[in-house]
Structure 1
Amino acid sequence: MKKVLLLLAKGFESFEASVFIDVIGWNLVDGDKTTELYTCGFTKEVTGSFGIKLNVDCLINEVNINEFDALAIPGGFEEYGFYEEAYHPDFLELIRDFDKQNKIIASICVGALPIAKSGVLNKRKATTYNHKNSIRQKQLADCGANVQMEPIVLDENIITSWSPATAMGVALLLLKILTSEKNANYIKEIMGF
């Protein structure tokens, strides 16, 4: 069984989190049945953007990365405190640990920024939120990333993307890497995309 850890910081974007939950879940039920998703945060109940609350499976300090095959990181809103937890040393260390073992790290939108802040995107291709006058691409570059003006970027084991519009594409790419292109295309088809 391939296990995905969904790492949630306070202020996470619910739509971006939901695509990982759904794609991995649809695969467990109707695909090749080889994937499971577990949620993680600093507190048992994580409050996302717009006041959405999610009870997580485990706390960040309880994670044994040897039990997981991939890490998924949705972006979030600064107005809801996303960067307070996304830039926390324990959050960044977990990212580094996944990268050291060359495990897949998939992010959506500003979920790329803690990956960059952790140092693992230094001199690697990546992208992040890029809407008009966005400072996020500059922040990514300031952390040493080689910023690409593409909606989804895969560099070795790390997937980054630039907006919620890319969310389903990122989740399906993660599934493709974990299983197969044929299986990911099947899930995409039965989900109606």
Structure 2
Amino acid sequence: MKKILLLLANGFEAYEASVFTDVFDWNREEGDGSTQLVTCGVREKLMCTGHLTVLPELLASQADATGFDALAIPGGYESYGFYEDAYSEDFLSVIQTFNRAEKRIAAVCVGALPLGKSGVLRGRQGTTYHLNNGYRQRQLAAFGVNVVNRPLVVDGNIITCSAPASALDVAFKLLELLTSPANCSHIKHLMGF
């Protein structure tokens, strides 16, 4: 069983998290059945965009990379407190631990910014939200990241994307890397892509 830790910050975007829950649930039910997603946060109760409440299964302080194959991080809204959680020591520690263990890490949109802050993207290629005159891309570059203006960037074990529009591409790429290209194509077909 391939286990994916979905690391959530308060104020995460519901859509960006749902691409991982949907793709990996489709795989569990209709694909090769080899994936399991576990939610995680720095607090016991999270409020995401749309004011949906989420109760993560694990706290970040309990997350152990040895029990997982990949880490997934959706972006979020600053006005909802996203960066307070995403830049916290516990959140960044999870990222660093997964990277040291050479596990796959997939981040959507501004979910790349805590990767940058954690240091795991320093000197590597990545991308983040590209609109608003490149403000978020400049923030990512300030962490020592070589920002590439593409919808999807893969550098070693890390996948980043430039906007919510690329979120499904990230989830499918992670599925492909954890299972197989054939299985990923099968799930895409069943989901109508």
* Range class of TM-score, shorter chain: over 0.9
Same amino acid, percent of matched pairs: 52
**How much has 1:99 moved relative to structure 2?**
0.3
The aligned counterpart of 1:72 is 72
The aligned counterpart of 1:13 is 13
The aligned counterpart of 2:139 is 139
**Whole-Å Cα distance in 1 between the matches of residues 132 and 87 of structure 2?**
24
TM-score using structure 1 length: 0.98
Amino acid corresponding to residue 54 of structure 2 in structure 1: L
**Whole-Å Cα distance in 1 between the matches of residues 125 and 11 of structure 2?**
26
**How much has 1:50 moved relative to structure 2?**
2.5
1:65-106 CA-partner distances (Å, limit 9, x unpaired): 110000000000001000000000111111011000110000
TM-score using structure 2 length: 0.98
**Whole-Å Cα distance in 2 between the matches of residues 10 and 189 of structure 1?**
33
The aligned counterpart of 1:116 is 116
Runs of 4+ in 1 over 4 A off after TM superposition: none
Kindly indicate whether residue 124 of structure 2 is the aligned counterpart of residue 100 of structure 1: no
1:131-164 CA-partner distances (Å, limit 9, x unpaired): 1313100001000000001000000000000111
The aligned counterpart of 2:149 is 149
Unpaired segments ≥5 residues, structure 1: none
**Whole-Å Cα distance in 2 between the matches of residues 132 and 116 of structure 1?**
19
SS at match of 1:11: coil
Task: Give yes or no for contact 2:65–2:101 (8 Å, CA) kept in 1.
Answer: no
| Structure 2 counterparts to residues 161-180 of structure 1, below 5 A | 161-180=161-180
Number of aligned residue pairs: 193
**Whole-Å Cα distance in 2 between the matches of residues 192 and 50 of structure 1?**
26
